[in-house]
Amino acid sequence: MNSWKTKRQLDIERRYQTLVERFTPNHSLAMNIARAFLWGGAICTLGQCVSEIGKVYLGLDQAGTSAFTAIVMVFLGAFLTGIGQYDRIGKHAGAGSIVPITGFANSIVSAAMEFRREGLVLGIGARMFIIAGPVLVYGVGASVIVGLAAYVVSLF
């Protein structure tokens, strides 16, 4: 490989590489992960608050509580995206704003808003699932496989 390069050239390249690595800020990895941890943790704590409200004040059962929590968190994610605040959070939070279910809502609203000018049907209606669609395809698809496997196991 690279037989035409002289030993000197290779040496310079190697030194340049170490120089680049030294000047690339390496705290950014730890900082980004810490930010994702804090924001993601905060969003999940908010979710815990919503779930306690559903359970204690609204007297919902377990299935009702989880549905209520999902609906409220999705609403918050969609609303904050609509008023342009979720993307601001996302700049700091990274995966902390993507991984929670609010990020799922964010992916729907931001895609829908972006393609709004293409119309209500093929613009918003189709494009809102540009990221959420694959999530549902793989999630629901995998759950059917799990269900079929559980059925086969139940036969024995």
Q: Which is nearer to other proteins, 12 or 71 (CB)?
A: 71
Q: CB of 107 within 8 A of CB of 127?
A: no
What amino acid is encoded at 106 in this protein? Answer: N
Tokens 């209520």 locate to 68
Q: Which of 2, 82, 118, 119 binds other proteins (CB under 8 A)?
A: 82
Shortest distance (Å) from residue 17 CB to other proteins: 19
Give CA–CA dist 70/134, Å, rounded: 19
Write the CB contacts of 105 (distance below 8 Å, at least 6 apart in sequence).
73, 74, 75, 76, 77, 78, 81
Q: Name the residue nearer to other proteins (CB basis): 12 or 38.
A: 38
Q: Is 118 in the site for other proteins (CB under 8 A)?
A: no
Q: Of the candidates 53, 60, 79, 126, which one interacts with other proteins according to CB under 8 A?
A: 79
In the complex, the smallest distance separating the C-beta of residue 21 from other proteins, rounded to whole angstroms, is: 15
Task: Provide the minimum distance between the beta carbon of 22 and other proteins in the complex, in angstroms, as a whole number.
Answer: 19
Residues 2-61 that bind other proteins (CB under 8 A): 29, 32-45, 47-52
Tell me which residues in 98-117 interact with other proteins (CB under 8 A).
98-105, 107-109, 112-114, 116
Please list, in sequence order, all residues whose beta carbon lies within 8 angstroms of the beta carbon of residue 80, skipping any fewer than 6 positions away.
86, 89, 102, 106
Q: Give whichever of 20 and 150 is closer to other proteins, judged by the CB atom.
A: 150
Burial class (CB in 10 A: 0-12, 13-18, 19+), 117: exposed
- Contacts with other proteins by CB under 8 A: the residue count is 78
